[in-house]
Chain A
Amino acid sequence: MYRQKYLFLLPGLIALTAIILFPLIFTIRVSFSGWDVYNPGLSWAGVKNYVRLFEDTRYWSALSRLSLLAISTVLIQYVLGFALALMVWKDVHARRFFRVLFLVPMMTTPVIMSVIWRTIFHESLGPLNPLLDAIVLGGQPWLSSPGWAFAAVMIVEIWQWTPFMFLLLLAGLLSLPSEPYLAAKIDGAGPVRTFFSVTFPGLAAISVGALLIRLIEASKILDTVYVLTSGGPGEATETASYYIYIRGLRDFQIGYSAALSITYLVIMIVALTIIAKLMVRFLVKGQS
């Protein structure tokens, strides 16, 4: 009876297809081509790129390195962001100033801040090592040792994106009702008990959202690695997205990098779906 209603949906559907589906379908098609620097265009290469991908140990190493980097940085961001949000949630002196201050790193341009951080970490010219020397901790090979370089990338990521967690969690805290706190107080709950029984459960849903958004973003990390370490020393900080960038835009293996991208996308969708379900089960449903 109301079939014409679909006509009204058509413009939206067409726009959606053009914006989201077409690039994705085109990338899938490119991934089955041998498009590289010498063979331009969409020649049919079958599943060659996918077979090659499964033998590409550098890609899988980069992917596992990325998983470690993303999960560890996001968890630290969450803990720090939560702590900062709790700090300025209640009445503290200069609360508004701190709220704005904590947001500053997130508002800066990642590539520019990576350049600044690279200067800070510079072992010959940067200010960090002299500072560490002065407080007897001693300078470190921030960008020239595999372990320290990985730590340096983590530090920049945490510095830049903790404010995002702070912002979401602070918004969550401000929206919490006051009655449960009153009840907890009447029951004689201390601050720790109140946090684990009232505050944390109250923010479970928003925590899941924040963690997921940050995991999606962190899994795409490229600019920090590009500027800070170029994936080195060796392959110590090479992440999957940086590796795809190298293969696609430096080596100009368009077909192969498309196959890498599609595989990466599938892995991310599966992994993040599982993580989301687990988090909902243990954090949200568990609490309710």
Chain B
Amino acid sequence: MTFSFRSALMASSALALAAAPVFAQTDYSATYGIDEDVPGACSYASIDAKDYSGRTLNVITHAIPVIGEPTALHAKQFGELTGATVNVVHVPFGDLFQRIMIPFQTRQQAYDVLFFASLWLGDFNPYLAAVPEEMQQVPGMQDVTETYRGVANWNDQMLLYTMDGDRHYLKYRTDIFENSEMQAKFKEETGKDLAVPVTWDDYAEISKVFSGWDWDGDGQPNFGTAEVTKRDDLMFSAFISRVAAYAKHPDVGGGFFFDLESMEPLINTPGWVRGLEQFVAAQDSMPPGGTNFGLGDEIFSFGGGQSLMSYSWDDAFIQAMQEDSPIRNKVAAAELPGAREVWNRETGQWDSFDEPNRPAYVTWGWSSAVAKGSEDQDMAFDFLCFFSDEANTNADLQVGRFGVNPYRESHFDANFYQDKLGWEPAVAQTYVDTLRGIDASPNRVFDLRIPGVGEFMSSLAAGVARAQAGEATPQEALDGVAKEWTAIVDRIGADTIRGAYANVVALEDAR
């Protein structure tokens, strides 16, 4: 009896072991909430096969939920699969840069894995480990678009492990633009047909007409535009979105922020000044308090149905498309508006265009990296590989608050958003078309990824804020910024800045 019981036990154990991969693969989706494991070097099965018991990984990331929540989730999963201890430190955004930089500069090996804004690469690059060649060859990484692979590179080395894709684009209310009453009202007021704005002048005109009255019938006044205007709250990105149309000439290379050769700031040239004039004038079409809107306010103003149009990252669009949103499936995405007159800094004149100049602005984007000083680089890269594994990313893309946005070719598939998120086909199509268009745009602006970017952008935001508050004219404000930028360049060194800025210009001039 004993013998037969033992035999039966051994037989069942052997059967269980033999069948383990099959059960495990099935279990991953049930246990971890993914649709299905995607085979590959970063898959659940591959990571599960690794044993990191007794080893510890220290990770620094943003506060929950944006990026912080998926970090915590995938860290827990990674620990369960490999046996590693993964410590995750969540830091508010305002504190993140210095919490990463101080250990780097003081040669303390505080963190193995770092999640941060990709524009800080100009500062962090000396301290980061290059992504191993084999990691660059995994299918998930090969599927990353050329744009975001470019963002991950520094001096021909891949230093960032891509896990997010960000850009600015226009969002608008289709139910209003397609409403015959609204079209008639706009025609009556302006003599023009109501159409999705292709220039910032159009945007201003539409915003003005649709401001201060209740056009959606909810009893509350509505407004034309919601924008990020709060100083020190990513307002600089909104401003650059507006400026690019006037200052990023499609036929003039060699720098958008600086002249790469002389390293003189271009920030106070006429294209930039006109962008600021428009930004200041737009305040009249913003909701009450709109001149002090942070990103969160902009998201809720457009996503909550208060404003007709908006432009920034995906968040406001995703908010508008939440299941409980009053404007779900009543929105669409489009390229940023442009300009028919563009400043040519080579000739010192305004050039006219029949088709508006509409540069794409590839801005921000969370990214990840491994510290050069980490003694656990193998495990750290495995973690990042797992974090951005196709199965995980497909799940993360479906949770708006996670802040993970499309960055792979396969993410530009309208069916995904229809099937998984229940978007209407037209909405999903404008979304993927817009993102794909930005990726393919021949005229693009990237963030100023150079040492001291925080200081440059802080100075820019302060100058723009002065103009917005009426403390200075747009020209005076930007002259002040240019003076500060020159001082920063002198302090850090023109050659150092030029060397770094060449990476940005290379991306911009690549097409």
B69 within 8 A of A: no
Query: Do A250 and B471 form a contact, CB below 8 Å, given A37-B452, A229-B292?
Result: no
A125, chain B: closest CB distance, angstroms: 7
Do B465 and A233 touch across chains, with their CB atoms under 8 A apart?
A: yes
Chain A residue at minimal CB-CB distance from B123? A37
Query: Do A250 and B458 form a contact, CB below 8 Å, given A36-B452, A123-B287?
Result: yes
For A149, the chain B residues whose CB sits under 8 A away are 292
Binding site secondary structure of chain A? loop
In whole angstroms, what is the CA distance A250 to B460 when docked?
Answer: 13
Do B470 and A38 touch across chains, with their CB atoms under 8 A apart?
A: no
Within residues 215 to 234 of chain B, which ones have a CB less than 8 A from any CB in chain A?
A: 230-233
Binding site secondary structure of chain B? helix
Query: Do A234 and B466 form a contact, CB below 8 Å, given A36-B452, A37-B451, A246-B232?
Result: yes
A45, chain B: closest CB distance, angstroms: 10
B344 within 8 A of A: no
B348 within 8 A of A: no
B469 within 8 A of A: yes
The number of chain B residues with a CB under 8 A from chain A is: 39
Within residues 279 to 305 of chain B, which ones have a CB less than 8 A from any CB in chain A?
A: 287-292, 294, 297, 300-301
For A252, the chain B residues whose CB sits under 8 A away are 97-98, 101, 123, 452, 454-455
Do A231 and B231 touch across chains, with their CB atoms under 8 A apart?
A: yes
Do A251 and B458 touch across chains, with their CB atoms under 8 A apart?
A: yes
A236 within 8 A of B: yes
Query: Do A235 and B306 form a contact, CB below 8 Å, given A125-B300, A142-B289, A252-B98?
Result: no
In whole angstroms, what is the CA distance A65 to B452 when docked?
Answer: 28
A157, chain B: closest CB distance, angstroms: 18
For A236, the chain B residues whose CB sits under 8 A away are 469
Do B492 and A143 touch across chains, with their CB atoms under 8 A apart?
A: no
For A124, the chain B residues whose CB sits under 8 A away are 287-290, 297, 301, 306
Of residues A230, A234, A236, which shows the largest number of chain B Cβ atoms within 10 Å of its Cβ?
A: A234
Chain A residue at minimal CB-CB distance from B105? A40
Other CB < 8 Å A-B pairs besides A232-B469, A251-B452, 13 of them?
A: A37-B454, A124-B306, A139-B288, A142-B289, A146-B469, A233-B292, A233-B468, A233-B469, A234-B466, A235-B466, A249-B97, A250-B94, A250-B458
A residues at B contact (CB < 8 Å)? 34, 36-41, 58, 122-125, 129, 139, 141-144, 146, 149, 226, 229-236, 246, 249-253
Task: Please provide the 3 A-B residue pairs with the shortest distance between their CB atoms, ordered closest to farther.
Answer: A234-B469, A123-B289, A40-B105
Supply 12 A–B pairs (Cβ within 8 Å), ascending by A.
A36-B455, A38-B452, A229-B292, A232-B465, A235-B466, A235-B469, A246-B458, A249-B94, A250-B454, A250-B455, A252-B452, A252-B454
